[in-house]
Structure formats: structure tokens, C-alpha cells
Amino acid sequence: MLKILKYSFYDLMRSRWSYVYFAFYLLLGIVLLFLNNDLSKAVITLMNIIIVLVPLIGTIFGVMYYYNSKEFTELLLAQPLNRSSIFLGQYLGVAFSLSMSLILGLGLPFIFYGLFKSNAIWDFSLLIITGTFLTFIFTALAFNIALSNENKIKGFGYAILLWLLLAIIYDGIFLMSLILFEDYPLDKLSLIGTMLNPIDLSRTLILLKLDISALLGYTGAVFKQFFGTNFGLIVSFIMLTLWVIFPVFRIVYKSKRKDF
């Protein structure tokens, strides 16, 4: 698996897209710092962007990489390598290279701005960790979609639909259901609803840490009340980890049963 990871990573590091992604975050970090002139505020703005953008790029990039490396995959399948190591290697290659672009692209401007001397360092680290989690989650989901769909156009369609659903539509439906059923106790429902969407979960996680009640919203408030800040953090991390593990398991399961 490590050999495949190495070659996938190496392949991606040479591709233009990793640099575009890196440059984009670099620029974003610089612009935000200059506009906000304050580390903590920049972290909040960044959160709102990361939570929507990282999943989008993870999904699109994951699907794109899978379809583009079809030839490479077929070449590997005829070699004495087992399937799970081929696909896990490729998945980790994509996820690592995307995470690296994110970490370096955002990290560098914040470090130069004096991150290590400020007390926003923990908030910022949490933001980066969440971003990395989201990258791993959505790349894995993208690989799942691509493995299940031979047709590229369908695959891309489902990938974008998935992102749209989790990043935008989910919140809408969730809010509607809260309004519709406002006569009933909704604490549990909203807790579960938050856990089932990694994007919502990440948002709650960061806001819990930043301790901005105004931005926390109903679910965040319930979350905080129910778990308290520290326990809430732990629970959300466990949920995020599960969100990585399940799709990865499905990659292994699917890849073992697929014909090439």
C-alpha cells in the first residue's frame, strides 16, 4: 500500500491542480489576514469558507482522480498487489496531497503573521484539523461514488449532488423540520441531525471551541448544553473519525467485488 501511496502522491504533486489549490489557500489566507487585521476574526471567516469549500474540492478532486487514473489502476491490478492496498493507497495519496495543500496554504500566511505568538493558535489548529478531517471524509465519499459508477458523467453528477445535499440542502431541510415540529421536544433530533452531517458537525465543533454563542445556532446550543464544551469536542471528533472509517470500509468492500 505504501508504494501505491508513494506513486499516487508523487503523481499528484506533479499535477498542476495541487499547486492551484495550494495557491488558492495561500491567497485566501493572505487576503483574510489583511482585511481582518486580526487573527481570531480571520479564523472565523476562514471557518465559514473552509466548511463549504473543502468538501467541494475533496469530492470533485476525488472523483476526478479516480476516473483519470483508471489506466493506472488497471495496470496495477495485473500486478501482484491486493485490491484493498491499490485503492487505499490511491485514496490516501489524494487525501494526503489535498490536506497538505490546505495545511501549507493556510498555515504559511498565518505563521508569518505571528500565529505562534497569538492565543488564536489553538483555534487555528482546530480549524486545520477539521479541514483535514473533511478532506479525508469527502475524498472517501468521492471514491465510493466513483467505484459504484462506471459512467463518469453520472459519477460527477452524484458527487456534486452529494456536496450540495450535505453543504446546503441538509441545513434547509433540518431547519424546516425544526420549525414544523416545534411543538415537540427536538433536542435529541437536532443532536442526531448534526451528527449525521459531517459539515454541520465540523461547524459545531469549531464554534464550540471558539465559544461564540451568537453563531452557535440552535443545534450548537443544544450540543453545548447536552455535552458541555469539552465532552462535546470529544464526541464530535469521534463522530468525524467514524465518518472517515465507514466510507473507507466501503471502498475496501466495493473494490474487492468489482470487475475491471
Partner 1 sequence: MINIHNLHKKFGKNIVLSGVNLDIKEGGIFAILGPNGSGKTTLIKSILGMVIPNKGTINLLGKSIKNNSDYRNKIDYLPQIANFPSNLKVKELITMIKDLRGNKTTHDNDLINQFKLEPFLDKKLGNLSGGTKQKVNLVLTFMFDSPIIILDEPTSGLDPISLLRLKDLIQSEKSKGKTILITSHIMSFVEEISDEIVFLLEGQIYFKGTINELKEKTNQTDFEHAIASILTENHA
Q: Which residues bind partner 1 (CB under 8 A)?
A: 3-4, 7, 11, 14-15, 69-72, 74-83, 257-260
Compare residues 79 and 119 and give the one whose CB is closer to partner 1.
79
Tell the smallest beta-carbon distance from residue 71 to partner 1 (Å). Answer: 4
- The SS3 assignment for 212 reads coil
Tell the smallest beta-carbon distance from residue 84 to partner 1 (Å). Answer: 10
Compare residues 76 and 115 and give the one whose CB is closer to partner 1.
76
Compare residues 183 and 259 and give the one whose CB is closer to partner 1.
259
Concatenated DSSP letters for 15-50? Answer: SHHHHHHHHHHHHHHHHHHHHH-SHHHHHHHHHHHH
Q: Residue 208 has which C-alpha cell?
A: 464550540
Closest alpha carbon to 192 in 222, 231, 169, 156 = 222
Tell me whether residue 45 is exposed, middle or buried, using C-beta atoms within 10 angstroms of its C-beta: 0 to 12, 13 to 18, 19 or more.
middle
Tell the smallest beta-carbon distance from residue 259 to partner 1 (Å). Answer: 5
Concatenated DSSP letters for 160-188? Answer: HHHHHIIIIIHHHHHHHHHHHTTTS--HH
Compare residues 116 and 260 and give the one whose CB is closer to partner 1.
260
Compare residues 37 and 68 and give the one whose CB is closer to partner 1.
68
Tell the smallest beta-carbon distance from residue 13 to partner 1 (Å). Answer: 12
Largest separation between any pair of C-alpha atoms in the chain: 61
Tell the smallest beta-carbon distance from residue 240 to partner 1 (Å). Answer: 32
**How far are the Cα atoms of 40, 195, 240 from residue 146, in angstroms, in the given order?**
38, 25, 22
74 Cβ neighbours under 8 A, 6+ residues apart: 260
Tell the smallest beta-carbon distance from residue 152 to partner 1 (Å). Answer: 15
Compare residues 64 and 235 and give the one whose CB is closer to partner 1.
64
